[in-house]
Structure 1
């Protein structure tokens, strides 16, 4: 176990999604999934452009809350980003989803179906009991109006965190994790655990007909490793597909303004030290430097955007 003096990720602050139109996405997330508006700001200037690796960006950032968790909808007002490929699948290495916990899957699914979603799963699926880690969990995957992947997840009494089982009158409870497709589990564990100091929470192998219907991928077989930061909260799930084999890599020219862009915001206890460590380990940096934010509207004091081994965006932040 790492000691508190180590440089490490403390928790996930939020998950950012680049969207085509904030108003449309805001309406969808608040009406279909019961998120609540926290703030709506527009930022521009060299700092934000340097942070996100774009030139002259003017970004509207709408922050939404569900339970204890935050997401940020990011619309580039002056740059037209590329859309998400319409033939994207769960084994493509740019795949990333948010898992939204519900208190009643049948009711949540019925509510969601009254909105214009694109389903991925045939219907909600129940993981079979032979799967020790996830047996009894119910899940349904679908896409938001931009094509971002989302999942509704319901935990039986013996699974999931205690907070998902506290008597809640709410239907949509919060975000449990963000799942990312990866090319190699060991390579990703080196990045997330050895370099960032996250811990392995569980491992499982999901397969058979249930997983195929959930992912809409014939014969799907996926090795799943769940990681949690030291202060717990939202986790990261690594999805290492065995069948079908690895999908397409993330194109190297994709930028933060492209709609497929999602960024996991990780609060770290010593940003300068961590950045030095990542540079020594040849991690890919999007930000040219650690960006300082003096501006009171910024939710953090310093930030630096890097990529994981498969190109998923990780925003490392130091809070004020």
Structure 2
């Protein structure tokens, strides 16, 4: 029986080299290789706003979740080449998105990444692994560490203490395999109530927590100063969720470039199965969303790529993209 909708079936991003990126996730973060698909120009490329382009999709698994890498093999006529992630990106910039990987032992799980950072082959975000303080009741005892993959995509390793997080994050894991699964994808947003209307009111996720993190520990975690961030979690009935990060001054972030597209390495997308694609398409604008690339696309012969006959590419109020599936 398929999961109850809404349900996140994958979290993904654009990469310049899917094979090299897949190897990084396998060797450094415990992912296992799934299928690799070559996608000819057709309705799926149109869905992404890349009409006429050829793509390669590489899927990896960690626990119950899927990471999907998208590489552009050729660009359709008239499309500009992709751009790298800006080197000066910060957690508060509104194009920021990361994937949170839950681990059973943060010290062991972060060892390879910390060694690579020390040698200069990866970029760290956090100054060191951080433990959230006791005063922060909702998050007290959570340990986390943030860094970037070789192309600059942001990642977080997180360990829940007893009594926090889902039951599945507390199952016994061998010391040699501390990586458990993907808890959420976090996005930077400018307006918390507006994002709640979009994710909960429009898409049907449920508010799973609302609090403010601040102080030296949060500074060390995010690589910022004077950090104060409102964090709202939005959960599906099962599986991964979405976490909205609303950074307060002096860390108000820069807006997403208006021309950012799926060919850019800063492009992430959450693939979400929903029950009523047409209703969402018709009411998205009223909830701050934007229907992209012609609206609902009939995938036809390419339906097997995502396991759905119809799909919709949608941006949230800050421009973060979701790929909605039905059927």
TM-score by length of 2: 0.91
Question: In the TM superposition, what is the alpha-carbon distance from 1:147 to its structure 2 partner?
Answer: 0.5
Map 1:89-168 → 2, pairs under 5 A: 89-115=90-116, 116-168=121-173
TM-score by length of 1: 0.93
Q: Tell me how far apart the structure 1 counterparts of residues 264 and 69 of structure 2 sit (CA, whole Å).
A: 13
> Partner residue of 1:192?
199
Match of 1:292 among 274, 285, 298: 298
Q: Does residue 15 in structure 1 map to residue 11 in structure 2?
A: yes
> Partner residue of 1:225?
232
Q: Does residue 177 in structure 1 map to residue 184 in structure 2?
A: yes
Map 1:231-250 → 2, pairs under 5 A: 231-250=237-256
Question: In the TM superposition, what is the alpha-carbon distance from 1:277 to its structure 2 partner?
Answer: 2.4
Q: Tell me how far apart the structure 1 counterparts of residues 194 and 54 of structure 2 sit (CA, whole Å).
A: 35
CA gap 1:270/1:138 in 2 versus in 1, 3 angstroms: same
> Where in structure 1 do 4 or more consecutive aligned residues deviate above 6 Å?
none
Summarize deviations over 1:285-305 as a string: whole Å, max 9, x none: 223031223336412212110
Q: Tell me how far apart the structure 1 counterparts of residues 63 and 113 of structure 2 sit (CA, whole Å).
A: 18
Q: Does residue 76 in structure 1 map to residue 72 in structure 2?
A: yes
Name stretches of at least 5 consecutive residues in structure 1 with no aligned partner. Answer: 1-7
Q: Tell me how far apart the structure 2 counterparts of residues 105 and 258 of structure 1 sit (CA, whole Å).
A: 31
> Partner residue of 1:5?
none
Q: Which is further off, 281-290 or 115-124?
A: 281-290
> Partner residue of 1:31?
27
Name stretches of at least 5 consecutive residues in structure 2 with no aligned partner. Answer: 76-80
Q: Tell me how far apart the structure 2 counterparts of residues 250 and 279 of structure 1 sit (CA, whole Å).
A: 18
Summarize deviations over 1:18-77 as a string: whole Å, max 9, x none: 001111101101110011111000112230222001231111000110000001000011
Q: Does residue 308 in structure 1 map to residue 300 in structure 2?
A: no
CA gap 1:293/1:206 in 2 versus in 1, 3 angstroms: same
